[in-house]
């Protein structure tokens, strides 16, 4: 395995491949830090939240729930539901790391994010090799950048009272669109048809579920259902 590793992408290459996504981590991290402070968290608490939770959407939700004095159980359950997609992301990448030990796989899985998954998926679609060393470079770079950004956002929270006026709330969306375009450029027609079908399923599922539950919950559940379908039907 070690000899194969030497021929594959390096840790440094993983760091370099992470660079295009750092703007998203930085902008959303700054906003998360600002929101954390406005929710009456200290800088240390924001740092611990970003280190232990390490999920932008979940951190925003946690801060919102703390602001309205929600119970600990409600915060835990909500965070778990929001982060369910990480099981699917890890399950999709797992076949590419099946020759590694359980410890290495756990280490990789703990730091997988939507963005790092997007970068890895784009590399896989292009037929390029990925390995644990490259994935660790990608994940660790993003992880450190996220923590630092959240802490800086918390430290200067009083100076950035309205992140939306700087367009920070759109940075993550823009980054996802860029990752999607990169994947579509490398996708063959059959794959494109598959992805378009999943988008249609997602739309239908959200509409149907919105009739029986709140819209924000419908989006989460529809995402989990359709993502599962995508993983099972992926060829």
Of 190 and 216, the one with more pLDDT: 216
Give the torsion sign (CA, 178, 108, 134, 125): negative
Q: Are 18 and 116 in contact (CB under 8 A)?
A: yes
Q: Give mean pLDDT, residues 204-228.
A: 82
Among 18-32, 64-78, 138-152, 214-228, which stretch is predicted with the lowest mean pLDDT?
A: 214-228
Alpha-carbon distances, residue 217 vs 42, 78, 202, 210 (angstroms): 29, 10, 13, 8
> Helix (H, G, I), strand (E, B), or coil: what is residue 70?
coil
pTM across the whole model: 0.72
Q: Give mean pLDDT, residues 137-155.
A: 95
Among 140-149, 154-163, 208-217, which stretch is predicted with the lowest mean pLDDT?
A: 154-163
Q: Give mean pLDDT, residues 207-217.
A: 82
Is residue 121's pLDDT more than 80? yes
Is residue 197's pLDDT more than 70? yes
Rounded CA gap, 16 and 19, in Å?
5
């Amino acid at each position: 395995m070690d000899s194969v590793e030497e021929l594959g992408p390096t840790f440094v290459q993983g760091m370099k491949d992470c660079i295009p996504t750092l703007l998203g981590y930085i902008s959303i991290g700054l906003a998360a830090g600002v929101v954390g402070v406005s929710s009456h968290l200290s800088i240390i608490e924001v740092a611990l939240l970003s280190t232990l939770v390490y999920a932008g959407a979940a951190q925003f939700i946690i801060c919102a729930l703390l602001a309205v004095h929600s119970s600990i159980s409600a915060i835990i359950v909500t965070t778990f539901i929001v982060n369910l997609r990480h099981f699917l992301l890890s399950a999709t990448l797992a076949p590419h790391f099946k020759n590694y030990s359980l410890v290495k796989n756990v280490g990789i899985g703990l730091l997988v994010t939507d963005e790092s998954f997007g970068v890895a998926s784009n590399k896989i679609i292009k037929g390029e090799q990925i390995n644990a060393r490259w994935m660790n470079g990608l994940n660790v770079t993003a992880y450190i950048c996220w923590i630092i950004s959240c802490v800086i956002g918390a430290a200067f929270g009083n100076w950035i009272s309205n992140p939306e006026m700087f367009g920070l709330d759109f940075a993550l969306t823009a980054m996802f669109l860029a990752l999607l375009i990169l994947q579509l450029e490398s996708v063959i027609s059959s794959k494109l048809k598959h992805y378009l079908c999943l988008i249609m399923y997602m739309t239908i599922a959200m509409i149907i579920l919105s009739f029986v539950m709140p819209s924000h919950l419908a989006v989460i559940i529809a995402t989990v259902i359709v993502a599962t379908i995508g993983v099972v039907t992926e060829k």
